[in-house]
Amino acid sequence: MRYDRTVRLDSDFDTTVKKVREALADQGFGILTEIDVTATLKAKLDQDMEDYVILGACNPQLAHRSLETDRAIGLLLPCNIIVRTDGDHTVVQALDPGTMVTLTGLDALRPVAEEATHRLDAALYALTGDA
pLDDT, tens digit (0-9, with 9 covering 90-100), for 51-82: 999 999 999 999 999 999 999 998 888 789 99
Q: Residues in the chain, how many?
A: 131
Q: Which amino acid is at 32?
A: L
Run of H or E including 81: strand 80-86
Confidence of residue 131 (pLDDT cuts 50, 70, 90): very low
Domain carrying residue 87: 4-128
Distance CA 90, CA 12 (A): 6
State the total domains in the chain: 1
- CATH number, domain with residue 88: 3.30.310.70
- Examine the pLDDT at 130 and tell me if it is beyond 70: no
Q: What is the arithmetic mean of pLDDT over 8-17?
A: 96
Distance CA 110, CA 106 (A): 7
